[in-house]
Structure 1
């Protein structure tokens, strides 16, 4: 990755980005198919950067918790890889889908094997792996503890209202899960798997907490101050690679082209980014574009990459 000769003034850069995002009139639309997410305020915007070995730098509403939704799939994949290693790839692929994140079309053609772990059916298979033979509540508690450890913050938890809203309106995810179960790619009862999946997606974090939680991916699997790595450097690299190719659903290629930072989005309006060897990043604004990604968070990432030269493909 190309490097600039000066250390970027992150505080000034983030303040400038937050000011410009506050003045944007085009802000996207909230994800109203999950009723609780439809209540989000479109005027909110936050951004946080955690440099390796440094303190968080934040601007805007960076300490406002929001529903991380599919961003959590980065952490569920981390846990599943620790559970079953490369065995996961017998049940879920590693290729971009080119279809919406909740599409059933490819599952039919590919006999219940999802294209990648970041689309909904892939994340449901990952939840099945994490669940093992346990009760859902035990797996939920374990996962929340993991998020708290990653972020060094015991206040992180599940937004119960969002979880209930997803459970009440999750017909399409149930259809995906039942189809995969029929094809033999779920080992636990569908409702148990979905209870874990819906609660994982309902974890609430702020930009500061989310950026903190991904530091280990920017540091080749290690948390600063921990003797033992969270995950091997090889697995961290593979997760980051999937973020590049699959992290923003069928807009992943465009995001890589325009921004060049490995990232994962969620319909709660957040985007989590990782610059290997440099920093972890989170930006949030609830309004989504037509692909289901935050309109202004994506613009903020593009401006940040341009100001810092942090694209993995070289200076923009």
Structure 2
């Protein structure tokens, strides 16, 4: 990996690191609890191949909810826009990411968007394949293509930990199955979803995924079109409107770049048309976003005028 340490970025990371004491590492998934609270790192990947870093960008962590972006892209490629959005909406929600409340008041009972857990479960349910193994293999193949890293795999310990504690996600699935939004075996879907969330990456991998999305789905190095441009546009838009859970509006004002967070402390960000950003900081705020990571992106955006607005 040819990524050089940048002193300005290092300074921003150290300033943002001070905020990590104000958050907490995710504890409801036991395997995530062992993360080091004060970790914070950043990688920037440009379409011209330049890469800058600050902190331990090769430290591995799991995608968690960042995987929702990739699963959505794959499901739309498999099923088409119309079929996917018949079962999941396009609207932001003011509720927490794991809430069941809106499902009870919506008619039909479809999730508001693909970035909350209910919506992500519906999306994963639409990935094509005859088995969990085949569906996961296809999702991993997309991750390998976007990162140019075929060694990326699943952290089975995290996946097992999530599967054993996924009671609320099971509830969401059964509720949606009752209303015909989810089809098939719920336990198989939970296994697929927990393994999808447990795909293990680095900041550098995240930055490269962001760079491909920023570049309309094309790998500038190989000129290979990995995602259709329309699908890249859809997922980037969801990242703006729904990517930071129920703090997405505030984040859009303060930072202003498409981003998707996960409870591992991962944040995937991008600035069209030329920059992908990967952040890792496992200390979370009350909304489930990396507290140091959000602060770091805020500083980065202000210093380099990155807001897309």
TM-score (norm 2): 0.94
Q: Deviations over 1:233-263 (max 9, x none)?
A: 2221221111110001110000001000110
Is 1:75 the counterpart of 2:70? The answer is yes
Alpha-carbon distance in structure 2 between the residues aligned to 1:100 and 1:209:
27
For residues 162-173 of structure 1, the aligned pairs below 5 Å read 162-173=158-169
- Post-superposition Cα deviations, 1:263-285, rounded to whole Å, max 9, x if no partner, equal 00000011110111120101111
Q: CA RMSD in A?
A: 1.6
Task: Assess if the C-alpha contact under 8 Å between 2:20 and 2:283 holds in 1.
Answer: no
Stretches of 4+ moved more than 4 A in 1?
none
**Per the alignment, in what secondary structure is the counterpart of residue 286 of structure 2?**
coil
In the other structure, the counterpart of 1:137 is 133
Query: How much does 1:43 deviate?
Result: 1.8
Query: What is the CA–CA distance in structure 1 between the aligned matches of 2:15 and 2:274, rounded to whole Å?
Result: 24
Indicate yes or no: 2:124 matched with 1:115. Answer: no
Distance 1:59 1:145 in 2: 28
Asked if the contact 1:56/1:212 (under 8 Å) is kept, the reply is no
SS of the residue corresponding to residue 240 of structure 1 reads: helix
Distance 1:13 1:83 in 2: 42
Decide whether aligned partners of structure 1 residues 42 and 181 sit closer, same or farther in structure 2, where only a CA change above 3 A counts: same
User: Gaps (5+ residues) in structure 2?
Assistant: none
Report if the CA contact (8 A) 1:133-1:188 is conserved: no
Aligned to 1:128: 125
Give the C-alpha shift of residue 162 in structure 1.
0.4
What SS does the corresponding residue of 2:126 show, helix, strand or coil?
helix
Q: 1:270 to 1:74 in 2, by over 3 A?
A: same
TM-score by length of 1: 0.92
Task: Work out the CA distance in 2 between the residues paired with 1:25 and 1:193.
Answer: 34
Whole-angstrom distance in 1 between the partners of 2:216 and 2:114: 20
1:56 and 2:41 matched: no
In the TM superposition, what is the alpha-carbon distance from 1:228 to its structure 2 partner? Answer: 4.1
Post-superposition CA distance 1:20-59 (Å, at most 9, x none):
2344463410110101111111021110111111222111
